[in-house]
Amino acid sequence: MPTMPIILYPSKILRVVSTTIKDYKPKAYSALIESMIETMVANKGIGLAAAQIGKNIRLIIVQTKEGALPLINPKILFESWKKETSEEGCLSIPKVFGLVKRSRAIKVSAINREGDKIEFRAEGLFARVILHEIDHINGALFIDKAKKITSGKEYLKQYDGEK
Ligand code: CO
Q: What is the 72 CA–ligand 1 centroid distance (Å)?
A: 17
Asked if the structure places residue 88 within a domain, the reply is: yes
CATH number, domain of 17, equals 3.90.45.10
pLDDT band at 56 (very low <50, low <70, confident <90, very high): very high
Share of the chain above pLDDT 70, in %: 96
Looking at residue 160, what is its pLDDT?
Answer: 61
pLDDT at 42 over 90: yes
66 given a catalytic annotation? no
Nearest to 62 by CA among 113, 13, 7: 113
Q: Answer yes or no: are the C-beta atoms of 124 and 104 closer than 8 Å.
A: yes
Asked if the structure places residue 2 within a domain, the reply is: no
From 38, 133, 154, 162, the catalytic residue: 133
Instruction: Tell me the pLDDT tens digit for each residue of 60-108.
Output: 999 999 999 999 999 999 999 999 999 999 999 999 999 999 999 999 9
For the chain, how many structural domains are there in total? 1
Asked if the structure places residue 37 within a domain, the reply is: yes
Q: Please tell me the distance from the alpha carbon of residue 81 to that of residue 102, in angstroms, as a whole number.
A: 10
Q: What is the 73 CA–ligand 1 centroid distance (Å)?
A: 17
Can you say whether the dihedral through the CA atoms of 104, 88, 58, 114 is positive or negative? Answer: negative
pTM summary value: 0.96
Q: Please tell me the distance from the alpha carbon of residue 27 to that of residue 131, in angstroms, as a whole number.
A: 27
Please provide the size of the chain in residues.
163
Average pLDDT over residues 138-161: 90
Asked if the structure places residue 7 within a domain, the reply is: no
Question: The domain containing residue 18 runs over which residues?
Answer: 12-161
Nearest to 110 by CA among 24, 51, 13: 24
Instruction: Tell me the pLDDT tens digit for each residue of 10-39.
Output: 999 999 999 999 999 999 999 999 999 999
